[in-house]
Amino acid sequence: MQVEQTFLKDCFIIKDTVLTDSRGYFFESFNQKKFQELTGLAVNFVQDNQSKSSKGVIRGLHYQQGNYAQAKLVRVLKGKVLDVVVDLRKSSPTFGKHLAVELTEDNHTQLFVPRGFAHGFVVLSNETIFFYKCDNYYSKEHDTGIYFKDASLNINWQLADEEFIVSEKDAHLPMFKDAVYFP
């Protein structure tokens, strides 16, 4: 496991050692002890989620508020996405900044998203299976987000507007200026 600190504090890109042979490949996708040693973070994941989406699907930018905030470890099992996080921590020097990372079934890259961030992705392949671990349970009452096309965030989603497939909920999320921020 290789861990790279991004310019966003406590947000890490994780690359695992992949062993390949004529049968295929093997890698350890998560090891609590190694994760804590390499990041300095003690995270207890309690829920795993998985989604299947077609090209152009946007999911996000989502987060949960207050005591229901979630840290996530995200990866792609099949396909390719542009994964995006936005720092919502008002006390952070990178408040309002975003990071975009391509996650694919071939690069086996994972992104650790700490609490205090909005998270989303757009599907860049014909079909994608997306998997993530969460350190807190889902709470519909505390679930919110930011509109993915908010011009103030200046996110390049790598697809033309007419290619986006967006849920009714995500199409009506608040703008960044109206978001509920973290301390």
Q: What pTM does this model have?
A: 0.94
The string of DSSP letters for 73-90 reads EEEEEESEEEEEEEE-BT
Q: What are the tens digits of pLDDT across the range 20-36?
A: 999 999 999 999 999 99
The predicted pLDDT at position 153 comes to 97
- Specify which residues 54 forms β-bridges with: 127
* CA dihedral sign of residues 125, 128, 134, 138: positive
Q: Which residues of the chain have pLDDT under 70?
A: none
The predicted pLDDT at position 1 comes to 87
Q: What is the CATH code of the structural domain delimited by 44-178?
A: 2.60.120.10
Is 142 designated active site? no
Is 132 designated active site? yes
State the catalytic residue, choosing from 62, 98, 108, 119.
62
The predicted pLDDT at position 69 comes to 97
